[in-house]
Structure 1
Amino acid sequence: MRKIIFATSNEGKMKEIREILEDLDIELLSLKDVGYDADIIEDGETFEENAIIKAKTVMEAIGEMVLADDSGIEVDYLDKAPGVYSARFLGVNTSYTEKNQYIIDKLAKAKDNERSARFVCVIACAFPNGEVITTRGTIEGLISNKIIGTGGFGYDPIFYVPEYQCTTAQMSSEQKNQISHRGKALRDMKELIIDRLA
């Protein structure tokens, strides 16, 4: 069975990824599974650059096909911040409860469409032959005026999707995977991988 490493140690993210890629005939491993714990310096200025840095760094260290994602939330009222800094926003040790409340507080005067935001996810795949491909998925929504829901992780409790009338933290994992930025980017990547493994 073909091994694919996903360059993350985030269990919440791995759960989502395994659900989306479950019908691929592969063994999907996390960085923790392969014992890789070196720090990767993500100094790119775009989601694409950071995803490629992660995928290539791990592929060169391990010699297997590696998937990596860079994802985050862009809040239009905050000039698309936190963007590529979403994970490090307000400091890496700051809880997402604090990060989410900070964004809500910053948008206290924002009305209706002024609260527009999107989740962005770029998936990069680095192959041992040196080829690198990327896919991008987005989902549009609004920043809610309070933290709602206990599902998902990260900024899910403040990301309100009007057509579903709930935050992504209130959705089932199946529903979220169908519409999420990561789900879209991963499904597109899955098609590209199937073509290359055929």
Structure 2
Amino acid sequence: MNVLWFASQNSNKIKEIKEMIPEMEIKSLKDLPDLIDIPEDEPTFEKNALFKAKTLSQIVEGVVVADDSGLSIKCLDDFPGIYSARWAKPETEWMKINDLLLEKLKRENLMKSEERKAFFTSSIALIDKNKGVQQVFTGIVKGVIVDSQIGENGFAYDRIFKPDNFDKTFAQMTKEEKNSISHRNRSITLLKEFLKKNNYF
């Protein structure tokens, strides 16, 4: 079984990619002898993903992928965007981070659903230095930010995001429901199609 290195230490993301690409052995930053922290200082999801993949590809042998993802809210000029995972630091508890974001919308009197249009982006970069391959796959799902946190499933902003054409948040969906339409599902599906087409498994 071929190895696919994933430049992440996020347990939820690692689990998702393992479930979606069972044809390959998935290794992550957690499998390195020394844990490394790769900065996310680039201006876009795509460039952040590429930088992380390139960084890990200099350390390990084989095919490397990395992702960058986040939530963008139209009326806030696509905030938090690439800062989704860190804008509220030192706060790291997602229930509180969601509340902070909802409070920000309320302070700016952005309460109507048409003012709360949002989208999730997931960009996955693939580097195979042996074959000279560099690709980026991006998935997007559009929706709106709801008035309060709803649901018990998922993680991060799932409790406050309702995708278009659905009457419930990501956090109200089963894992199977969410995965069938999520931004990460879409980017990983594109990645998997590329891997299969190019005989990586």
One of 79, 87, 105 as aligned partner of 2:103: 105
Counterparts of 1:62 and 1:161, CA distance in 2 = 37
- Residues 110-189 of structure 1 aligned to structure 2 (within 5 Å): 110=110, 111-129=112-130, 130-189=132-191
- Residue 4 of structure 1 corresponds to 4
Unaligned stretches of 5+ residues in structure 1: none
Counterparts of 1:10 and 1:39, CA distance in 2 = 12
Q: Please identify, of 61-70 and 32-41, the stretch whose mean Cα deviation from structure 2 is larger.
A: 32-41
Aligned positions, number: 196
Counterparts of 2:192 and 2:198, CA distance in 1 = 10
CA distance 1:30–1:101, change in 2 (3 Å) = same
Displacement of 1:93: 4.2
SS at match of 1:87: coil
Q: Is the 8 A contact 1:16 1:173 kept in 2?
A: no
Q: Deviations over 1:141-174 (max 9, x none)?
A: 1111101112111111111124221110111111
Partner amino acid for 1:34? L
| TM-score, normalising length: structure 1 | 0.93
- Give the % identical residues: 40
Q: Is the 8 A contact 1:20 1:177 kept in 2?
A: no
- Residue 69 of structure 1 corresponds to 67
Q: Please identify, of 57-66 and 133-142, the stretch whose mean Cα deviation from structure 2 is larger.
A: 57-66
Counterparts of 2:127 and 2:88, CA distance in 1 = 30
SS at match of 2:59: helix
SS at match of 1:14: helix
Q: Please identify, of 89-98 and 168-177, the stretch whose mean Cα deviation from structure 2 is larger.
A: 89-98
| TM-score, normalising length: structure 2 | 0.92
CA distance 1:195–1:162, change in 2 (3 Å) = closer
Partner amino acid for 1:163? N
Aligned-residue Cα RMSD (Å) equals 1.4
SS at match of 1:146: coil
Counterparts of 2:125 and 2:90, CA distance in 1 = 23
Unaligned stretches of 5+ residues in structure 2: none
Q: Deviations over 1:12-45 (max 9, x none)?
A: 11122222223xx211122113345112122110
- Please identify runs of 4+ aligned residues in structure 1 that moved more than 3 A: none
Counterparts of 2:144 and 2:33, CA distance in 1 = 38
SS at match of 1:58: helix
